[in-house]
Structure 1
Amino acid sequence: MPSVLVLNGPNLNLLGQRQPEVYGSTTLADIEAACTAHAVDLDVAFLQSNHEGVLLDAIHAAKGVHGGLIINAGAYTHTSIALMDAVASVELPTVEVHLSNIHAREPFRHVSYLSKVAIGQICGFGPQGYLMALDALAARLATS
């Protein structure tokens, strides 16, 4: 069974508490449970870190272990060329996820370095976006 690593970046450990008007009341643990229940054709592993280097190391370690990545890099989406380079380097199909619609927010959030190396971006659908990303990766992995 293919495996997918779901990476969550800075401040996502505060979901359910942090700006519920933007990010909703669902916690990261709720999202992980929903992903596990939803992914009947995938093994799913999870990692959240507020540290860019930890995320980089996890992306590097994913090659040869996981068939694909789902990443919500939080604010690193808009700033981290290092994360973009890491995703490009491991050559794993990657889906970028955001709970809010980053294109309807502040102009600095409209820029995503990850979108340049991801197979797709899902934003604005709240926690459902993670399930959509799992479905997209399951379909991609089934045909490769």
Structure 2
Amino acid sequence: MSTKIERASAVDAEEILSLQKLAYQSEAKIYNDFSIEPLVQTLEQLRYQFEDHIILKAVVDGAINGSVRAIEREGTCFIGKLIVNPNDQNKGIGRKLMEAIEDYFPLSRYELFTGSKSVKNIALYEKFGYTVFSERSITPDFSLVYLEKKRS
């Protein structure tokens, strides 16, 4: 399986959104909440993100099987929605996407967040060199964990 990482364009939005909704099912199950933002994001909202975000896609055999997006603000690269087709997880695609998005933003600091119960995600990001620096309670049952990575 050869994976090619490319910059996505608005014509990819529908395929990326479909994959996003598939990939975030596991997160929704953890929290028993199928109204999380990645599952309710509209095609119009995603298309709008192409105006100010860098959105990358992982392509295998002509199909998009992963994506990540980021935006730079005040010297920090904010990374979001790292997704990989559930059938293709644990094959290094997420790592390739993270390395590629970081290379797009050769900054000194990267930041992302995930849900506090998303233990697999936290462990994955820590494996990529990210460390937890903050946690923010959203509801009594739900909090977000913020992770950062600093380049030397």
TM-score calculated relative to the size of structure 1: 0.39
The answer to which structure has the higher strand fraction is: 2
- TM-score scaled to structure 2, two decimals? 0.37
